[in-house]
Structure 1
Amino acid sequence: MFSENEVRQEFLDRFDEIAAGATALGGVESIDGGLTVDRAAAAAQRMAEGLWVPDGSGLEAIIERFTRPVHLVQRSTFTLPPDGRATSKHVTAQVERARRPLERAIPSVGRIELRNHAMTWAGTGWMVGPRLAVTNRHVAELFALESKAGPGTAFALRRSWTGKSIRPSLDWYQEYQRPEESRFRVTEVLWIEPDGSHDVALLRVDPRGEDGEALPPPLALDTSGARAGRWVAVIGYPGRDSRADHSDRERIFDGVYDCKRLAAGRLTAVEGQRVVHHDATTLGGNSGSAVVDLDSGKAVALHFGGTAGLSNVAVHAAALAEIIRTHGG
C-alpha cells in the first residue's frame, strides 16, 4: 500500500490528523514509545520495502483504513462512512474518477440469501449473462451438491435437517440503512467447478424478482485487463468475520457488516490467465465479489479468498469466461 511515494508522503504529512482519529478509538497503546510520526515513518519505510513484520500494535489497521477505505453503498452509489476519519486523497481520487462505471456495476452484484438454512446468507454473486450469475464453489456448496457425476453432470439443492429444500436467492440491494429488497430466486445450479480447479460456480436466476422487477444487466468481463498495478474496486458483502482481529476489523469497517460495500485497491500480481492478487480490503462474505477495473468498468476477476496482511486472490476473468462458455448454456 506504500509502494507509491505519493501515498506514503500523504500519510506522513497528515499523520497528526490520522493519529488523533485512531487514538480516539483506542487499541494503539501497545505501540512502544507511542504513536509518533517518527515511528510511523520507520514502519512505512519497512512496509514499502516489504520488510514489515506485523507487531500487533494496530498500526497496520490504521494505515489500511487510510489507504484502502471501504465505501458504503446506498441507492446504488457509494460514499465514505460518515465518521470523519482521514482517508487518502490520492486513493479517493482514483475511485472518484471511476464513479460512473462503478455505479453501473453496483446494481449487478447481489447477496446470496438462504431460506431453510442455518445461515441467512452465504456470500456474493453477480450477473455474467442473461439469467446467469457467478459465485464461488465454496459458496455454492453451502446449498447445492453434485447429484449426477460423469457426462451430463447435474447438481441439486441440499436439504435442511428438517428435510426442506434449501432455497437460495440473490438480493441486489441489502444496502446500509436501506430496507429495500430486490430478491430473485436461483432456479438452477448449472455448474460447480471440481476441487482442485477454479473456485467458481454458475447459477441460473429467475428472470423476474419477487416484486416483478427485471434482472440487472450482466457485468462485462475484461479478459485481458488484469495487470499488476491496475486500480480495481471489489464490490460485495463483507461479513462479521471471526477470523479477523476484532479491533482491526472494527477500526477498518466502522462496525458495519453484512451489507453491500465497495473497496478500492490495486492488482498486486497476475498468474497467467488463471489467478490475480489484489490488496483491496475484504472479509468473509466477500467470497464471490466482482473485482472491477477502474479504467474499463469491466470485471477482471472473481474474488475468492485471501490471507490477512498478505494478499487477496481472485479467479482471472479469462478463466471465468472459459467456464461460462463451457458450462453456462
Structure 2
Amino acid sequence: MTDLLLRIDGVSHRLAEADVWYLTRQRDGLVPTRRRCGAGELGHFVSRRGRWYYRTGDPAALPVRLNGRVVQDPTTRLPRGPVHLTWERPAGPVVRDVQRSGYDEAAIVRAVHAACPRYEDLELLLADDLRLELFHISPPADMRWVVDEVIRTARAYGWLTDLLTAVRFAHPREPALDPVMPRFDQESMVDEANGLSDPFAFAARLVRACPQVCQIDVTSGSRRSAGTGFLVGPHIVLTNYHVLRDVLDEPGSPARVAFTFDLHEHGDARFTRRAPLRLAVDWRLAASPPEELDYVLARLDGVPGYDELPTGERRGWLCPSGAAIARPSRGMRLVILQHPRGVMLKQAFGDVLGVDGAGTRLTHRVNTMTGSSGSPCYDVDHFRLIAVHRAGAADSGPAACNTAVPVQAIHADLTARRFDFDLLTDF
C-alpha cells in the first residue's frame, strides 16, 4: 500500500491508497476529505496500480499548482514522494455552467428558506439530491444566514439550478418557488400550441380508430385505383368523391368496388380479418363533386360496424354530432390514418397550415401518397375527426402541402341538403 503525502499551505495530509480523496474549499483553506462535497470541490485524488492521480473536471476554472506546476489537464499523474499543492484563488466567483441572469437573489433565499425552514431539512435535501455536505458549506446557525451562504456557494460553483430543481422536486406545491423557478428552468415549452399529451390516452384512441378505416379498391376495365375510407355509421363509409368517380359518373356494377377492413401489419404476415365488402344496391346516400366538397357517403352490403374484433370489442364507427365537430386551426397537430398505394394501414403526423376563407379547404403538412385520398384526419390532442384528406395542393407534380375537406363543411352541406342523419346514427 502506498499512501500519498500531500502538503497544502504547510499542512501535511496523509491520503490512504484505498480511498478516493476529494479536494474541497472550506473556510480554513483547502482540505482533502473522503466525503464528496460539490460545493467547494476542486477535484479528487485517486490511486490506480500504485500511482496517484489528480483529476478535475475543469482545470482552468480553479487553477491548482502541484509542486509548482499549474494543472492544465483533466488527469495529472503525480510524482512519487510528497506533493506540494497550492491553489490560485480566483479574483471573482467562478461559474461552471450558465445561469439565467436578472434573478432576485433575495427572492431565491426566501423561497429556499420557505421550503427548508430547518437546518435538518436543507441538510437532508443536499445530501440526498446533490450528494453535498451542508456542514462543509455552513455550520448550524440562523437559517436565513445558512440559506444565504448555500445560495452564494451554489451560484459561485455553478449548481444553483440543480439546487432549485431539487427544492422544487421535494416541495412541488411551495408557492414561494413559483416566481423563482421560471428563470432557472433548463427545459422550455417551445411550442405552447402543441403542449404535452397523455400517450396512453392517445394510444387507446388510435387503437379504437384503426379498425374503422378501410382500403378501397376500384376496378374499371383494365385500370385499378385505390383510396381510403372510414365508417361513419354501422354500414356507411365516408370517402372522397374522386375515389369512386368511376361508379359515380358512369354508373355500373357496384361489384367493381371493394372495401377491405383490418388490412394492417401483424408480424411479417399480410392478412385481413374480414372479407372485402361491396357497395349495396342503393349505395349512394349523398355526394359533392371534387370542385366543391369532394365527398361521398356510400352504403355497404354488410354491417361491419357491429363486427366483434379479436379484442372482444365492437368495431364501431365515427359518429360526431354537429356540436362535437372540432374547428381546425393553424398549427393544430394532425394524425392521418391511411392506406397509401393500397398497402397496409399507416399513420402520419403533421400540422394544419391554414383554412381557406370559405372554410371548404384545409391545407396541412402530413405525408400522404396515392391511395390516401378519403383518409380521416384527427387532431392529436383529443383525437377528434377534423377533416377528410383529399389530395396534394399542386395541380401537377409534387406538392409542397396537402389539402383536406373540413368535416364542418361536410356536416353543413348535409344539413343544407336536409340529409337524414339518423342513417348515420347521429353523424
Q: Structure 1-normalised TM-score?
A: 0.55
If you compute each CA radius of gyration, which structure gives the higher value, 1 or 2?
Answer: 2
Whether 1:217 aligns to 2:316 is yes
Whether 1:140 aligns to 2:244 is yes
Whether 1:238 aligns to 2:340 is yes
Amino acid at match of 1:225: R
**1:106 is paired with a residue of what secondary structure?**
helix
Q: What is the CA RMSD across the aligned residues, in angstroms?
A: 3.1
Q: Deviation of residue 313 (structure 1)?
A: 0.4
Alignment correspondent of 2:285 = 190
Q: Could you list the per-position Cα deviations for residues 225-276 of structure 1 after superposition, in whole angstroms to 9, with x for gaps in the alignment?
A: 311111111111111xxxxxxxxxxxxxxxxx62211111111112253211
Partner Cα distance (1:110, 1:123) in 2:
9
Partner Cα distance (1:238, 1:94) in 2:
27
**1:229 is paired with a residue of what secondary structure?**
coil
Moved more, 178-187 or 294-303: 178-187
Whether 1:259 aligns to 2:352 is no
**2:264 is paired with a residue of what secondary structure?**
coil
Quick one: which of 380, 389, 401 aligns to 1:311? 401
Contact 1:190–1:203 (CA<8 Å) still a contact in 2?
yes
Identity of aligned residues (%): 24
**1:113 is paired with a residue of what secondary structure?**
strand
Partner Cα distance (1:279, 1:200) in 2:
21
Q: Deviation of residue 281 (structure 1)?
A: 0.5
Where do residues 97-116 of structure 1 align in structure 2 (5 Å cutoff)?
A: 98-114=202-218
Partner Cα distance (2:303, 2:296) in 1:
21
Quick one: which of 222, 228, 234 aligns to 2:330? 228
**1:319 is paired with a residue of what secondary structure?**
helix
**1:178 is paired with a residue of what secondary structure?**
strand
Whether 1:278 aligns to 2:377 is no
Q: Deviation of residue 94 (structure 1)?
A: 6.9
- Taking a change above 3 Å as real, the CA distance of residues 195 and 311 of structure 1, as seen in their structure-2 partners, is closer
Q: Deviation of residue 194 (structure 1)?
A: 3.2
Q: Deviation of residue 102 (structure 1)?
A: 1.6
Partner Cα distance (1:317, 1:261) in 2:
21
Q: Deviation of residue 117 (structure 1)?
A: 4.8
Alignment correspondent of 2:162 = none
Partner Cα distance (1:227, 1:124) in 2:
24
Q: Could you list the per-position Cα deviations for residues 272-309 of structure 1 after superposition, in whole angstroms to 9, with x for gaps in the alignment?
A: 53211111110010000000111221210000001435
Unmatched runs of 5 consecutive residues or more in structure 2: 1-190, 421-427
Partner Cα distance (1:320, 1:204) in 2:
17
Unmatched runs of 5 consecutive residues or more in structure 1: 1-89, 147-156, 160-164, 240-256
- Taking a change above 3 Å as real, the CA distance of residues 130 and 174 of structure 1, as seen in their structure-2 partners, is closer
**1:280 is paired with a residue of what secondary structure?**
coil
Where do residues 116-155 of structure 1 align in structure 2 (5 Å cutoff)?
A: 117-119=221-223, 122-145=226-249
Amino acid at match of 1:180: T
Quick one: which of 280, 291, 296 aligns to 1:201? 296
Quick one: which of 362, 375, 380 aligns to 1:289? 375
Alignment correspondent of 2:252 = 158
Count of residue pairs the alignment pairs up = 206
Q: Could you list the per-position Cα deviations for residues 102-122 of structure 1 after superposition, in whole angstroms to 9, with x for gaps in the alignment?
A: 221111110113467535552
**1:285 is paired with a residue of what secondary structure?**
coil
Higher relative contact order (CA 8 A, sep 6+): 1
Partner Cα distance (2:300, 2:198) in 1:
30
Alignment correspondent of 1:302 = 388
Q: Could you list the per-position Cα deviations for residues 8-46 of structure 1 after superposition, in whole angstroms to 9, with x for gaps in the alignment?
A: xxxxxxxxxxxxxxxxxxxxxxxxxxxxxxxxxxxxxxx
- Taking a change above 3 Å as real, the CA distance of residues 195 and 289 of structure 1, as seen in their structure-2 partners, is closer
- Taking a change above 3 Å as real, the CA distance of residues 105 and 213 of structure 1, as seen in their structure-2 partners, is closer
Q: Structure 2-normalised TM-score?
A: 0.43
